[in-house]
Structure 1
């Protein structure tokens, strides 16, 4: 069907803001958790990498993505393939863990940071388009290759900045400011990727929705669980930092 019949995606401003706030919370939590990575050894280092990677990949990036997907309201019904959705979360978390592991191994340097950022950024890009592929709807998705490339570049640059911040910040005010900036970068990548997509109806009808779960249930479930987990992890992290400071005094 020709592109002049493209289905419009109208974003709900409230959900757009909500997606940004979730990204900021995830970024701030990841920065808090990343503090202990350089000094940790053995299993403790990998636990810190997993926690920070889960906060960044699962919260700041993946949860933000699906809440932002919910913000995209179209004139057709949409459901989501659960298997692909879960796989996209694992891609996001694994790529963030890999980026943190590479950047924190040995002496910190710009070359290693660039490699880690590239690995992480491409993983984040893959997560986004896998998440798009999880959509079940009576429509076909077409992509503007220039904007797809732009979204990948934004993801890589944002990843390099995020990794640099993770290992060079200490004060919570600095981290909060950095989390606000990172939220803008993550949202910039997502909404550029959404701008790259156009949707044209097909004849699949209700069969296209089979086996999927509703966007509203998925999005609000992700928001509730992710916010609770990030808030709990963040509170525990800040408590540990206060305990360490008290012992040093």
Structure 2
């Protein structure tokens, strides 16, 4: 329910576009890495692929996108982020994506397993988003429209199911890139629906509420820089392995 005195969030277009770019890059990298899960020859290789793809999806496509998108929200009050909850949200996002990929990518691929993995992963992605929101420190209380919260979780689950299906059914560059764009749109849709669900009501708290937190601008740009390097390294490794597999087949 909207509040008359809610703090307004004005989004900056450049950072919205940047968050989408990060989400697409992370999704493309994760899809490339996920190909190695069902093709792995050993259990150790399979779990390495699960961890790498889950980290790229949960950490790059979803978590990093979330905090860069948070920077896009300009409010009339100062905001810092609790470091512990921020780290927790990253772990929740990556762990849920790893779990979803592990469930969907092992054994016989089927729709029941796909839906179960997607629900598990989508709820984890939602947990990442709302724990990330809880990390916000500001002189305001956050209230949620539960209808929009439910809508955001539905988007997260559907996006997860789509991402898992794409990861294990598509191979070509063009298909992978198109899939990454679709996933990027879905992830951003989940985030901004979740943001629309939130109302920030001033509570009169003093500057002490910001103590111990990290400024959003430093957190966001640091995440973008580190994530870009990590995803680039993962993608390069995936492409080298794919080329090696092609050479072996020749």
Q: Same fold (TM over 0.5)?
A: yes
The whole-number CA distance in structure 1 between the counterparts of 2:21 and 2:31 is 15
Please list, as runs of the form range in 1=range in 2, the aligned pairs for 1:73-222 lying within 5 A after superposition: 73-222=74-223
For 1:173 and 1:139, locate their aligned partners in 2 and report how far apart those are by CA, in whole Å.
45
Q: Give the deviation of 1:74 after TM superposition.
A: 0.2
Structure 1: how far apart are the matches of 2:227 and 2:105?
26
Is 1:225 aligned to 2:226, yes or no?
yes
Provide runs of 4+ in structure 1 moved above 6 Å.
none
Residues in 1 aligned to 2:197 and 2:142: alpha-carbon distance in whole angstroms:
10
| 2:18 matches 1:18 | yes
Structure 1 residue 226, shift from structure 2 partner: 0.1
Q: Deviations over 1:113-132 (max 9, x none)?
A: 00000000000001000000
The answer as to whether partners of 2:37 and 2:106 remain within 8 angstroms in 1 is no
What SS class does the counterpart of residue 4 from structure 2 fall into? helix
Cα separation, 2, equivalents of 1:3 and 1:36:
49
Cα deviation per residue 1:194-214 (whole Å; 9 max; x = unaligned)?
Answer: 000011111112011011000
For residue 3 of structure 1, report the CA deviation from its aligned partner. Answer: 2.2
Give the alignment's Cα RMSD to 1 decimal. Answer: 0.9
Moved more, 173-182 or 236-245: 236-245
- Does residue 37 (structure 1) correspond to residue 43 (structure 2)? The answer is no
TM-score normalized by structure 2?
0.98
TM normalised by structure 1 equals 0.98
Q: Secondary structure at the match of 1:170?
A: coil
For residue 4 of structure 2, what is the aligned residue in structure 1? 4
SS class of match (1:5): coil
Residue 154 (structure 1) shift:
0.2
In the other structure, the counterpart of 1:28 is: 28
1:248 offset after TM fit, Å?
Answer: 2.0
Report the number of matched residues.
248
Q: State the Cα deviation string for residues 165-191 of structure 1 (Å, max 9, x = none).
A: 010011011000000000000000000
Structure 1 residue 106 displacement after superposition: 1.2
* Structure 2: segments with no counterpart, 5+ residues: none
